[in-house]
Amino acid sequence: MELRHLRYFVAVAAELNFTKAAEKLFVAQPALSTQIADLERELGVRLFLRNTRMVQLTAAGRAFLEDARSLLAAAENARERALRVARGEAGKLSIGFFAAPTMFFLPELIRSYRLTHPKVTIRMHELTPDKQLTAFAREELDLGFTRVLPPGHAYLAEQVLFCERFLAVLAETHPLAGRKRLRLAELADSPFVLLDRAVTVGLYDQVIAACRAAGFSPLVAHSPDLMATVLTMVAAEQGVSIVPEGVRNLRTRQVAYVPIAPALEPIPLVMCWNAGQDSPTRDGFMSLVRERLPSIVADFR
């Protein structure tokens, strides 16, 4: 039994006339009669009583008509749903992010996307860069906003969105807090509070390397696993830190952010995704990100 058999049957049942049904279906009347006969033979029941003067549904035909209509409606719904998913108009979108550099632009992107894709279910996951890699490996994320990917993840593609300057962050009571800029070597005698290396290897290693290039090895007194905790400990005079400028979004009270001269190599924020995975919803969101990218960069600066 094929869908065309159901369509032919429903058309004849609606018209109770093979000639009129054939005209509406744009098929020859003998061909329509043959298809109905094939359907009856496959079902093992008569669906119509017919003679030269009239066509009537049998009891079995009336029962089958209800199910045939339901099956055709379900098939049409399935077709429409597949089309919506293929166009990225329906389905799911799972986004990984970490707050500091994304909180000023990601909420607006989500709101804009939802206006044009109301049938897409969006899941947002605040994850550190290392945990985003784990989530990608488990196929739990469609898109991630993270740092430059470490080696060993060739299946992931990435696009740099913008680069963040590094700033020294000090307690507002620190003697250097009022400076317009400072040299990294001026922090050599201060204990450091750095985000734990396991959370973001690249950031930690870049700060350590910059300090060594400035002539000292920093004393890392504390290594919390949340950037918000880093800032709280700095505010509590537990040490100083070097952070990407987006971290200013997390806290402005009780701390001071001071530019470093000469400037350190900026750290990129990237958008990454599994290039081998088909995801129309992801592709639609990425198109929005790229469309808005010039204004995102302008607002960040």
Same domain, 158 and 272: yes
Contact between residue 214 and residue 165 where contact means Cβ atoms under 8 Å apart? no
Same domain, 157 and 184: no
- For the entire predicted model, the pTM comes to 0.73
Residue ranges in 16-153 assigned as alpha helix (H): 18-25, 29-43, 59-86, 99-102, 106-116, 129-137
Same domain, 59 and 126: no
**Domain enclosing residue 74, as ranges:** 3-86
- What tens digit of pLDDT does each residue of 271-289 get? 999 999 989 999 999 999 9
Same domain, 117 and 181: no
Confidence of residue 8 (pLDDT cuts 50, 70, 90): confident
Same domain, 150 and 292: yes
The C-alpha atoms of residue 12 and residue 64 are separated, in whole angstroms, by 13
Boundary of a domain, candidates 34, 68, 86 = 86
Boundary of a domain, candidates 63, 86, 109 = 86
pLDDT of residue 38: 87
Number of structural domains found in the chain: 3
Instruction: Give the CATH number for residue 48.
Output: 1.10.10.10
Amino acid in position 202? G
- What tens digit of pLDDT does each residue of 19-31 get? 888 888 888 988 8
Same domain, 172 and 190: yes
Q: Which two tokens stand for residue 244?
A: 């990407």
Same domain, 170 and 261: yes
The C-alpha atoms of residue 34 and residue 126 are separated, in whole angstroms, by 61
Same domain, 178 and 234: yes
List all residues 6 or more positions away from 127 whose beta carbon is below 8 Å from its beta carbon: 96, 97, 98, 135, 144
Averaged pLDDT, 63-77: 86
Q: Which two tokens stand for residue 175?
A: 């003697």
Same domain, 79 and 98: no
Same domain, 171 and 155: no
- What tens digit of pLDDT does each residue of 166-215 get? 999 999 999 999 999 999 999 999 999 999 998 888 899 999 999 999 99
Same domain, 170 and 199: yes
pLDDT of residue 215: 96
Confidence of residue 85 (pLDDT cuts 50, 70, 90): low
Same domain, 18 and 150: no
Boundary of a domain, candidates 86, 112, 143 = 86
